[in-house]
Structure 1
Amino acid sequence: MKKQSTDLLELPAGWLSPSPESARQFEQELQRELCPQHVLYNVPAQAVGRKDRRDDFLFKIPDNCFAQVHLTWRQETDPFWPATDLFSSFEAWKTSLDDEDFD
């Protein structure tokens, strides 16, 4: 099966595409932080975006779904951390941003 490219994702203003090296670091950090009860534990996740100057990241997960995760930069024992919102598609994620408060 051919791996689907994420290069075609048009991130909204305020979101940046990570370099391949940074993406690997963010993916490793995500796995380091997760406890076994977390919804993303053992789920393959590909870093595809980071909110500019924030610890919020967008990961592509199986079935063309997406997870927005607020990394904490520490190993967690609470399954609610790192805070994670799941989305059924890239468009669903982008639509959810319209509901956020402006910084």
Structure 2
Amino acid sequence: MSFSHKQIVELCESERTRFRDELLRELPPGHVMIPYSGTLDVLAHVEGRDDFVIGTGDPNKPFAVVHLTWLKETTPPWPYTEFYQSAAAVDKAVEEIFGE
């Protein structure tokens, strides 16, 4: 997977595993990412933020950007999550955040 925005940094395998474990730890019952817990793949980090690009394995919602809180959450919507239809849409969303 390739993202074009310079703030989106792809992760190595060990980082992907570490941040996947953290995401799964944070998810409270009923969170929108729970249905993807068996297929999610942490693909990249948005540099300068606690946001991570997730591959969901769902062709209808292939990407999500999740803001990790570094806490075990108890109620949705935390960690905050937005879904995207393409890598280009993720790039555009990050561009809007950074204005670049």
Q: TM-score range by the shorter chain?
A: 0.7 to 0.9
Number of residue pairs matched by the alignment: 96
Identity of aligned residues (%): 30
Structure whose residues are more often helix by fraction: 2
Task: Give the structure-1-normalised TM-score.
Answer: 0.82
Per-residue deviation, 1:88: 1.4
Answer with 1 or 2: which has the greater Rg.
Answer: 1
- TM-score computed with the length of structure 2 as normaliser: 0.84
Instruction: Give yes or no for the alignment of 1:36 onto 2:36.
Output: no
Equivalent residue number for residue 17 of structure 1: 10
RMSD: 1.8
Matches within 5 A, 1:1-103: 6=1, 9-43=2-36, 44-64=39-59, 65-102=62-99
- Give the structure, 1 or 2, with the largest relative contact order (CA under 8 Å, sep 6 or more): 2
1:62 maps to a residue whose letter is G
Alignment gaps of 5+ in structure 2: none
